[in-house]
Structure 1
Amino acid sequence: MFLIVSYGLRHLFNRKHSAISYQLSAISYQLSAISYQLSAISYQLSAISYQPMGHRVEACATVLFAQREPKADG
């Protein structure tokens, strides 16, 4: 009788342990994905910060003026 109960408890523990292990693995995967995204954002921000100021203003002005419609002469 004791062996049956012991086996049942061990089986239940192993299943719970397996589920916890799976959840921790999923969390680890999500944290890795977040880390990758933060690295990409950091890379983009560093690229912007190393860009000379004049080029940034010039690019911004080009976008602004490109969006305006030309006025009709009249």
Structure 2
Amino acid sequence: MLPGVGGITYNVRVGDLASGWEADHVEPGVSLENKEKDERFPQGANIALNVLSCVGNKAVVATGDAKGDKGVITGNTEESNMY
């Protein structure tokens, strides 16, 4: 399986070389998507996440083994500019 969108890429970090990967595209670190659905606007929650998550914002892991770990948003998708 090749790396892509949605998940954790353990072996790619911000600042690594952009060439030499076998992938459609690689998103370093953690890539997320809000899959909460609303009948009136099915992608609303994910669009809100993309629009409100700005480069430089602090992030805290809320659940799982890494709960409480902190990071910083280092990039965003073009999707936030579509709406």
> What TM-score range do you get, normalising by the shorter chain?
under 0.3
Q: Which has the higher helix share?
A: 1
Rg larger in structure = 1
Q: TM-score with structure 2 length normalisation?
A: 0.22
